[in-house]
């Protein structure tokens, strides 16, 4: 008894569940409610899976089987009256055959029957609630652009019914193309080339599902990885199975249900977590150790850059000696770093072998200067652990270089004549607040897995000991790393962390900094529902197995499921 407990109720009951002493929450619903749940659970260390709204594209190329594509579209948008998160509500048709496709679609709409959904002869039932019916009616009435076609079917006199509607000739920026209607309204526009189709499909803040119709398997497998969606159906729609992960990206949520990716979200690492002890900078007013006073700059877009504010702070050793000055980055430096990272999107398209060779090269160049970095770490922290930390950094780089071309997806067994590919793709631009206690190893252990798996990084170096990271710039400069793939800032985590978490062009934030930042970052991330990975005030052994492994691989990748039926 007690293993499964079912409670019914409205939103008030849901809010009580969110506030209850639970360890994991999985929610399916609107993006607005998903944001509230993200904010309400911030800093509590809960596992969270959000499967939220969508504006899924339904792309039809000119070589598609038109009749099959029309039937698939009827299922995609008018299944459950379009009140489905993954409904194919944005139709993108190749220009040369658009009018022919629209004509067949209108003819099919003319035959749809509306009425009691419990009647098996009915195609389209009632809207779930009169409030939602008013929302749908208002959205369509407030946006009269385009050509509106309503199925000429009789609506029942009683009930919340809305006719199946097709709206063509819209612009990409139209509210009807951008906002989730959550009803039986299909909006459409045309494209000319596959590249334009991808651009239009990704022109949304959502990213739950997408559908492709083409008889060219090469075209399908070229376009599918380029779509910002958690699930892509090829020549089919609304295919689901417990073995195939399902979930979204962007404001369609994060996490997966189904498959190994879904199961892993309900597990946690073994062992007893340890509380993170604060690491504070040393005070001092001693003379500079070096004859020449140096101010370390920021590393943005493959070159060193002065901070926008022009400020820096002194960095002292354990005996009070002045070791140098570190720049203090601000929100404008974050803007520049994020722009540089997003300009380096081509890094995700490089082969894993190429990324591995660059990581090996970074390790080789770090090894050549091992004594210098070890001395710097000893000066920053005291003691004699610098050599061991540098050696651990080199091993860590070799580890992730080895993983760069070996992280495989899987072909899941599904009950149809076809295959569902669970592909591992990079998250995008990841902001990382590096751990304070390991000035170089913490930087390498977090940045290396991210870039090995195709991401770009905006890293904030150790708050009390930033100079080890600034010395690392020259290693990156001499290791063939493309500009913008790694960007390193120095400054206060407390000031930079919230700005990074709220930035709308960042796809994920990792924080291994102080405990109080975990809650702030998770709450601020609700703006665009970016993924977060925070320490919640728990320590990690960066020199041991905790400093690498499956947790880093999972955090640095998204699972995209591509369904590919085959056969004549």
CA distances from 419 to 150, 233, 345 (A): 37, 11, 29
DSSP 246: B
Q: Measured between alpha carbons, how far is 296 from 280 in angstroms, rounded to an integer?
A: 20
Report CA dihedral (428, 443, 481, 374) to the nearest 10 degrees: -170
457: which strand partners? 430, 486
51 is catalytic: yes
Token pair, residue 364, equals: 């080789």
Q: Measured between alpha carbons, how far is 334 from 496 in angstroms, rounded to an integer?
A: 8
Using N-to-C axis directions, what is the helix angle for 467-477 and 441-452, rounded to 10°? 40
314: which strand partners? 325
Task: Please identify which of the residues 85, 86, 393, 434 carries the catalytic annotation.
Answer: 85
CA angle 501, 427, 255 (to 5 degrees): 80
At residue 526, the 3 state secondary structure works out as helix
- Helix ranges (H only) for 59-206 are 66-78, 98-110, 130-142, 175-178, 194-201
Residue found under tokens 């913008």: 484
Token pair, residue 298, equals: 């920021």
| Sign of the dihedral through C-alpha 261, 265, 268, 274 | positive
How many whole angstroms from its chain centre is CA 197? Answer: 21
Longest dimension (CA), the chain: 89
> What is the 3-state secondary structure of 4-17?
CCCCCCCHHHHHHH
Residue found under tokens 């309204």: 185
Task: Please identify which of the residues 15, 39, 51, 558 carries the catalytic annotation.
Answer: 51
Half-sphere exposure of 7 (CA within 13 A, CB side): 11
- 283 burial via Cβ count (<10 Å: 0-12, 13-18, 19+): exposed
> What is the 3-state secondary structure of 277-332?
CCCCCECCCCCECCCCCCEECEEECCEEECCCCCCEEEEECCCCCEEEEEECCCHH
548 is catalytic: no
**Which residues contact residue 213 at a Cβ distance below 8 angstroms, ignoring those fewer than 6 apart?**
58, 59, 60, 61, 64, 65, 68, 69, 72, 234, 235
**Which residue numbers are catalytic?**
51, 85
């Amino acid at each position: 008894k007690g293993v499964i407990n079912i409670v019914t109720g409205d939103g008030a009951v849901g809010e009580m569940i969110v506030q209850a002493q639970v360890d994991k929450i999985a929610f399916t619903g609107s993006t607005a409610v998903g944001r509230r749940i993200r904010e309400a659970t911030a800093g509590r260390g809960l596992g969270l899976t959000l499967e939220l709204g969508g504006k899924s594209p339904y792309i039809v190329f000119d070589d598609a089987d038109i009749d099959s594509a029309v039937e698939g579209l009827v299922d995609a948008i008018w299944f459950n009256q379009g009140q489905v998160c993954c409904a194919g509500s944005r139709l993108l048709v190749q220009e040369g055959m658009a009018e022919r496709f629209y004509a067949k679609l209108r003819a099919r709409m003319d035959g749809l029957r509306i009425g009691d959904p419990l009647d098996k002869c009915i195609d389209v039932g009632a809207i779930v609630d009169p409030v939602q019916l008013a929302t749908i009616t208002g959205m369509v009435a407030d946006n009269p652009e385009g050509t509106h076609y309503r199925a000429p079917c009789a609506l029942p006199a009683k009930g919340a019914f809305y006719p199946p509607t097709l709206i063509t000739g819209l612009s990409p920026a139209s509210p009807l193309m951008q906002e989730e209607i959550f009803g039986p309204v299909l909006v459409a526009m045309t494209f000319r080339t596959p590249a334009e189709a991808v651009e239009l499909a990704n022109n949304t803040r959502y990213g739950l599902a997408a559908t492709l119709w083409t008889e060219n398997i090469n075209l399908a497998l070229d376009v599918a990885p380029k779509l910002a969606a958690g699930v892509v159906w090829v020549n089919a729609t609304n295919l689901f199975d417990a073995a195939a992960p399902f979930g979204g990206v962007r404001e369609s949520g994060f996490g997966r249900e189904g498959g190994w990716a879904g199961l892993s979200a309900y597990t946690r690492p073994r062992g007893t977590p340890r509380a993170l002890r604060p690491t504070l900078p040393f005070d001092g007013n001693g003379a500079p150790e070096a004859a020449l006073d140096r101010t370390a700059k920021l590393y943005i877009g493959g070159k060193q850059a002065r901070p926008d504010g022009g400020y820096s702070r002194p960095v002292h050793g354990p005996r009070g000696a002045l070791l140098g000055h570190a720049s203090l980055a601000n929100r404008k430096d974050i803007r520049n770093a994020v722009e540089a990272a997003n300009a380096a999107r081509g890094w995700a398209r490089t082969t894993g072998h190429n990324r591995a060779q660059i990581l090996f090269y970074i390790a080789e160049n770090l090894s050549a200067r091992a004594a210098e970095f070890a001395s710097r770490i000893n000066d920053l922290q005291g003691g004699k652990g610098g050599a061991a930390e540098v050696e651990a950094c080199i091993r860590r780089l070799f580890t992730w270089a080895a993983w760069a071309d070996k992280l495989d997806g899987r072909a899941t067994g599904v009950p149809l004549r076809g295959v569902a590919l669970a592909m591992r793709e990079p998250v995008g631009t990841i902001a990382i607040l590096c751990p304070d206690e390991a000035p170089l190893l913490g930087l390498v252990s977090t940045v290396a897995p991210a870039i090995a798996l195709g991401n770009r990084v905006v890293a904030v170096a150790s708050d009390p000991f930033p100079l080890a990271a600034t010395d690392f710039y020259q290693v990156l400069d001499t290791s063939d790393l493309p500009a913008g793939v790694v960007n390193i800032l120095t400054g206060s985590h407390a000031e930079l962390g919230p700005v990074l978490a709220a930035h709308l062009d960042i796809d994920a934030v990792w924080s291994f900094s102080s405990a109080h930042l975990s809650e702030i970052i998770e709450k601020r991330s609700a703006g665009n529902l970016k993924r977060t990975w925070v320490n919640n005030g728990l320590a990690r052994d960066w020199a041991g197995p905790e400093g690498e492994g499956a947790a880093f691989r999972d955090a640095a990748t998204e699972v995209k499921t591509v369904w590919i039926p085959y056969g004549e």
